[in-house]
Amino acid sequence: EKMQSVSAKIKEIDNENNKIKDEIDALILGIPNIPHVSVPVGKDETSNIVVREWGKKPEFNFSILGHTEIAEKLNLLDFKIGSLISGSGFPVYVDLGAKLERSLINFMLDSHIDNGYRETFPPFMVNRKSMETTGQLPKFLDDMYELPKDELFSIPTAEVPVTNYYRDEVVKEESLPIKFAAYSACFRKEAGSYGKDTKGMMRQHQFYKVELVSIVEPDQCLKELDRMTNCATKILDFLKLPYRKIVLCSGDMGFSAEKTIDIEVWIPSENKYREISSCSSCGSFQARRMKARYKNDKKETVFLGTLNGSGLAVGRTLIAILENYQQEDGSIVVPNVLKPYMNNLDKITKN
């Protein structure tokens, strides 16, 4: 009888311990990464630092249009049908609009593969653990599309499945650095962005991105961040789109980042730059959550360093092309590097 009582007490204590552990884990998972010493200190985007501007902004001698008007006049996008099928924030790409989007994806992937990235095509749905290890959960739960019955989440970026590739693994040091390029659809509720960019394609619930992920030794993270950012800007160099690079301050960085460099492309109709890529070093922050490690030359098992960046956001690249390459007759000149992907088409016209 005493032993039965002890057994029941042990079960009770175990249950209480598990509850306490869950509470502790929830607190720990809510603590963000520590900014690197080189990151400028500030509360918001006003403290970000512009480090480079590239390219000549186009000069127009006619009244220019925004990307929404251009896309509708040239029958590239159908916002009305998208809203009917799914709701706002889900445009349908049509005819040459679909071809241009696909051409951009293929061009970006080919360029990054030439730069030494391995192509991968990840799942678009992941489990809760995958979202926790990269830092999307629990902080950004309200922005996620969840399938509760299946205990799955639609990915907000390919960073999540690709970075988790080495979860619970010990990698051989000689295999580093590991570099992946991945195309995926991305799904975000944009819960904290009510009223922002509701017209057009600037902010969507479903959009497409070519993502870059690097797995490196932790002391190589910042060097790799510069290299990754240059791979992303190279796409804009090829497309001859004006852009600038910005180092984000401590108050404007993402949850998992130790340092972030944003790339912003010129949008003529708004007369300002808009974000098209965000490249971040996460140090060993994500690797600790994932238990992703490697053995160094001293035979010590240490945590890896992880980085991720857009190379690029495809929809925003399409926006920049439509606006920067627009002509007075309403047509769009196809950038030279995209012509092989567009059946050597020179212009997109209404016909």
For residue 182, give the nearest of 160, 200, 150, 205 by alpha carbon.
160
Which DSSP category does 24 fall into? H
Alpha carbon 10 to chain centroid, angstroms: 46
- For the packed helices 314-324 and 221-239, what is the interaxial angle rounded to 10 degrees? 40
What's the confidence (pLDDT) of residue 200? 75
Question: Beta strand 152-154 with 170-171: parallel, antiparallel or unpaired?
Answer: unpaired
What's the confidence (pLDDT) of residue 15? 95
For residue 177, give the nearest of 213, 216, 226, 220 by alpha carbon.
216
What's the confidence (pLDDT) of residue 198? 58
Q: Cα dist. 20→32, 61, 282, 288, 336 in Å?
A: 21, 67, 28, 21, 60
Q: Is the peptide bond before 312 cis (omega within 30 degrees of 0)?
A: yes
What's this model's pTM, rounded to 2 decimal places?
A: 0.92
Q: How far apart are CA 179 and CA 161, in angstroms?
A: 14
Q: How far apart are CA 164 and CA 161, in angstroms?
A: 5
| Mean pLDDT over each residue of the chain, to the nearest integer | 95
Averaged in consecutive runs of 10 residues, what is the pLDDT profile of the chain (351 residues)? 89 95 90 97 97 96 96 94 92 96 98 97 97 93 94 97 97 96 94 60 92 97 98 98 98 97 98 97 97 92 97 97 97 98 96 69
Tokens at 162, concatenated = 């690709």
Q: Among positive and negative, which fits the CA dihedral 290, 294, 295, 297?
A: negative
What's the confidence (pLDDT) of residue 104? 98
β-partners of residue 186 are 207
Amino acid at residue number 228: M
Question: Beta strand 118-120 with 178-187: parallel, antiparallel or unpaired?
Answer: parallel
What's the confidence (pLDDT) of residue 139? 87
Q: How far apart are CA 221 and CA 50, in angstroms?
A: 21
Q: Cα dist. 138→165, 181, 183 in Å?
A: 20, 26, 25
Determine contact, residues 26/138, Cβ cutoff 8 Å.
Answer: yes
What's the confidence (pLDDT) of residue 350? 86
Helix or strand or coil: residue 266? Answer: strand
288 φ, ψ (degrees, to nearest 5): -65, -45
Tokens at 111, concatenated = 């360029």
What's the confidence (pLDDT) of residue 203? 86
What's the confidence (pLDDT) of residue 233? 98
Cβ neighbours of 237 (radius 10 Å): 13
For residue 344, give the nearest of 44, 99, 24 by alpha carbon.
99
Determine contact, residues 186/209, Cβ cutoff 8 Å.
Answer: yes
Q: How far apart are CA 286 and CA 303, in angstroms?
A: 9
Cβ neighbours of 297 (radius 10 Å): 6
What's the confidence (pLDDT) of residue 284? 98
Q: Cα dist. 272→41, 62, 244, 275 in Å?
A: 24, 18, 11, 10
164-201 pLDDT tens trace: 999 999 999 999 999 999 999 999 997 555 556 656 78
